[in-house]
Amino acid sequence: MHETPKNSISFEVWGKYALFTDPLSRVGGEKCSYHIPTYEAVKGITESIYWKPSFIWIVDKVRIMAPIRTEAKNMKPVNLSGGNTLATYTYLADVRYQVLAHFEWNPHREDLRADRIEGKHWDIAKRMLEKGGRRDIFIGTRECQGYVEACEFGSCDSDHHQAGELTYGLMFHGFDYPDTIGKDELHARFWSAKVNAQGIIEFPRPDDPSLIRRFVREMTSNPPKSVGLDEPQHKLA
């Protein structure tokens, strides 16, 4: 029997609605979801289950379990200048995915080296998954409530069926934040998205050189002040 690495978890996430949008469309106006999840959204779901600044979650694969359906809803978003406007948001409806992810130590947080205890974080992550996550689960955006439970990736039959590989062209992948790349810059990543014939999305790693990166703006990392794990608790601010 194959033994699960002690830094990997697999889970199923589902919900009534999901909204995976290009960041450029989040400024306002109409919003229309991608047909498949973005890496950044799935990473956010995984971090809501369990996360610590000493490690980084890497999303390996996502398996589409439900048919891809969209549903339009009339909304009244708030204008930046005040008041409301009318808009139509197009959501994915009745979504369900299987996710395989693992964590790796953050090389830019040497101050947390003492917290690099693989078994401890793996056990906590599994316990949090059994409880439905440490924080609320949102599938893309805050109004799309989600739910998670542990599963074996690849188990169960999928209701999503497709003929061969599907390609989605250039698609948003995620953000490079200062605390994960060691630079005082924010970058956006893009990739040539595709879903294989089995309905599985195999995401490239965030450090994959094939990803297209675009500089967004200067940004300074401001991590919480850390205290050595061996220091007395009264030293905490």
pLDDT of residue 15 exceeding 90, the answer is yes
pLDDT of residue 145 exceeding 70, the answer is yes
pLDDT of residue 92 exceeding 70, the answer is yes
pLDDT value of residue 28: 60
Q: Are 146 and 137 in contact (CB under 8 A)?
A: yes
Instruction: Quick: pLDDT tens for 117-135.
Output: 999 999 999 999 999 999 9
Out of 7-16, 73-82, 144-153, least confident range: 73-82
105: which strand partners? 55
Cα-atom radius of gyration of the chain, to the nearest Å? 19
Provide the pLDDT confidence category of residue 232 given band limits of 50, 70 and 90. Answer: very low
The pTM of the whole model exceeds 0.85: yes
pLDDT value of residue 95: 98
Instruction: Quick: pLDDT tens for 42-56.
Output: 999 999 999 999 999
Q: Of 170, 151, 172, 190, which is closest to residue 65 (Cα–Cα)?
A: 151
- Strand, helix or coil at 113? helix
The reply to whether CATH 3.30.70.2660 applies to domain 8-235 is: yes
Average predicted confidence (pLDDT) for the chain = 89
Q: Which two tokens stand for residue 113?
A: 């080296």
Which residues are CB-neighbours of 58 under 8 A, at least 6 positions away?
101, 102, 103, 104, 205, 206
Percentage of the chain modeled with pLDDT above 90 = 76
Which residues are CB-neighbours of 49 under 8 A, at least 6 positions away?
9, 11, 125, 128, 129, 133, 134, 137, 148
Helix (H) or strand (E) holding 17: strand 8-18
Instruction: State the SS3 of 164-202.
Output: CCEEEEEEEEEEECHHHHCCCEEEEEEEEEEECCCCEEE
Mean pLDDT computed over 204-231: 79
Domain parsing of the chain, residue ranges: 8-235
Q: Are 20 and 92 in contact (CB under 8 A)?
A: yes
